Amino acid sequence: MYKRITAVILATALAAGCQPEQTTHVTDTASQLKAAQEMKDDVTSYASTYKTQTKENNKESQSYLGLKKDEDDNQEVTVKNAEEDGKFYVYDKKAILQKDGEWVDISKLGGSQLLSMTKPLLYSEQFKLLEKMTDAKYKDHTLTQSISGYDDYMHVFGQNEEDKKAITSLKKTYPEIHNEITVTFDKHNQIEKITNDLKLKNSKTTVHNNAVTTFSEINSVRLDIPGPVKHAREVGA
């Protein structure tokens, strides 16, 4: 009997230890942002997706990126758009893709450009957006930032001179702007979903871009990197 009780206590303790420690009670925007920041370093592996749908007048395009990242920072990336439908890996900090049936390491041949594609999928990258959402409205573990006009947009995103120049240039091309960003957190205050809905308009053109980022399988992703990927031949050296 004592063995059974001890086993139950141990199992309960282990289960509790698997859950991230909550130190901030979330009641508003500031506390939600603080709680998310506190949990940031606890996220070591995950699956994520980044889907975009862009409509310019009557022309429409879609793209999809999928990522699985393990605790060693190895990544399996799926890319789907009008031009391509494939997969590449980031293994041991090397960019590896398949060319003519062979897996090759292109780290020294445009690898940085390939790696930049994964930025929208990385958990840590989302905090560059979150730090700009101090004025967002909070409700039920969700933050919503609504922007109408360039004064609001500049206030939120014009943090440095480079950003201000880019926004000013955008305004010249599209005088009207509307943007709504929604960030949803799970019960552990970890990011679950981000929706970024942007509308731009001038006298001739309306551009509507909807981007959705999701995170799942937090701290439970295990990647089985294929042998040919691990031993990919280096090109461009």
**Plot region of 88 (φ>0 → left; ψ -120 to 50 → alpha; else → beta):** beta
Per-residue buried b or exposed e for 186-202, using 16+ beta carbons within 10 Å of the residue's own CB: eebbbbbbbebbbbbee
Per-residue pLDDT at 165 exceeds 50:
yes
Per-residue pLDDT at 5 exceeds 50:
no
CA distances from residue 130 to 40, 116, 170, 191 in whole angstroms, order as listed: 12, 20, 22, 10
Per-residue pLDDT at 17 exceeds 80:
no
What tokens does 171 get? 């305004």
- How many whole angstroms separate alpha carbon 109 and alpha carbon 236? 5
What pTM, to 2 d.p., does this model score?
0.85
Count CB neighbours of 135 within 10 A. Answer: 13
pLDDT tens per residue across span 38-86: 999 999 999 999 999 999 988 999 999 999 999 999 999 999 988 888 8
206-216 and 176-185 as β-strands: parallel, antiparallel, unpaired?
unpaired
- How many whole angstroms separate alpha carbon 68 and alpha carbon 125? 15
- Contact between 45 and 219 under an 8 Å Cβ cutoff? The reply is yes
Instruction: Between 198 and 118, name the one with better pLDDT.
Output: 198
pLDDT tens per residue across span 106-148: 988 877 787 888 888 999 999 999 999 999 999 999 999 999 9
pLDDT at 236 (0 to 100):
75
Per-residue buried b or exposed e for 43-82, using 16+ beta carbons within 10 Å of the residue's own CB: bebbbbbbebeeeeeeeeeebebbbbbbeeebbbbebeee
Per-residue pLDDT at 237 exceeds 80:
no
68 HSE (CA, 13 A, CB side): 12
Q: How far is CA 39 from the centre of its chain?
A: 15
CA distances from residue 113 to 5, 65, 73, 81, 119 in whole angstroms, order as listed: 56, 15, 18, 17, 11
Per-residue pLDDT at 175 exceeds 50:
yes
Averaged pLDDT score across all residues of the chain: 89
